[in-house]
Every structure is written in C-alpha cells, then in structure tokens.
Amino acid sequence: MRRRSVLLVALLLAAVTLWRMRRRWAQYNARALEYFLAKLRRGNDETTSALESRLRATAQEAIRGVDRNKLAAFPQELDVSMSGGGFKTSYSAGVVLGLLAINEAYPKCARIVRWSGASAGAMMGLGCITSSFSKTLVWAFAVVVSDCRMLEPDCLCRS
C-alpha cells in the first residue's frame, strides 16, 4: 500500500511539473513570435542588416585568400543539409554564407543544388535560399531575447 502511495505522489508531481513546463514553453513561444512579428512590422532592422553585411563581407574576404587551384578541385554542385538544434545553425549559416560567397566569386564552384534541414536548420536554409537571411537573424534574436526574458524577468535584454 505504501509503495502504491509513493508511486501515485511521484506521478502527480511529474504531471504537475510537465504541465508547468508546457505552460512556460507556450509562453516562451508566444513571446518569441510576438517579438519577431513586431520587428518585421517595423521594417528593415538596421542591426540585423548591418550584421548580415558584416557576415557576408567576412565570408568574401576569407575566400579572397583561397588558392585558385584548390577552388578548381572544389565540387561544382553541392547538396546542403543543416541540423536543427537552435544555435548550432549559426555554424551552418556561416558555412553556407562562405559557400555562397565562393559561388558569387567563382560561378562554376559551389552551386548549391538541394537544401534540407531540420527545425532551426530548415529555417536557416529557407533564409539563405530566399535571400532573406536578415529576417532569419531577426528570428534568432527573437528567440534569444524571449529566452532571456523567460529565464530572468529583470534581465538587461528587455526592449
């Protein structure tokens, strides 16, 4: 009988914990979406546009120093797959921006033919393929700001 009571209490605590986590997750998603839509309504965000310009310039600068013989051995067509997992896609986005810079400088190299991705990786791929990378950055910032607000209500990233 005691064992059954302990099990019931444990199940009840687990159910309450899951319910609270689900509720916080819903609030988090609602805040992220609200922030994202507000940023999009305001129009072109200078911060993300400037960041995108810096990232593209850095990628272009990096490929200037690449030996042309190495580029000749580079595949002409590529398939790109980006994993999910939130900010792991930042790495993927940097690689893709580098590949796009190579393709702009040397049109016969690194032409991305097919894209695939999961979760945030799909979002990042969509941003790259539709040339709306800055809007993808706005979404990433919305997630960070919302997460900061959820974890620390008095944090400095309030806007």
Q: What average pLDDT does this structure show over 66-75?
A: 80
According to the model, what pLDDT value does residue 153 have?
46
Q: What average pLDDT does this structure show over 100-121?
A: 84
pLDDT averaged over every residue in the chain:
76
Dump pLDDT digits (tens) for 38-53.
Answer: 777 776 566 667 777 8
Strand partners, 115: 80
Is residue 88's pLDDT more than 60? yes
Q: What average pLDDT does this structure show over 134-146?
A: 69
According to the model, what pLDDT value does residue 141 have?
67
Query: For residue 53, what are its two tokens?
Result: 């310009």
Helix residue spans in the chain (DSSP H): 2-41, 46-64, 68-72, 88-105, 120-129, 133-151
The residue type of 62 is: A
pLDDT range class, residue 73, cuts 50, 70, 90: confident
According to the model, what pLDDT value does residue 47 have?
67
More confident site: 54 or 46: 54
What is the b/e burial string over 76-96, where b = at least 16 CB atoms within 10 angstroms of the residue's CB?
eebebebeeeeeebeebbeeb
According to the model, what pLDDT value does residue 91 have?
77
Give the predicted TM-score (pTM) of the model: 0.58
According to the model, what pLDDT value does residue 156 have?
41
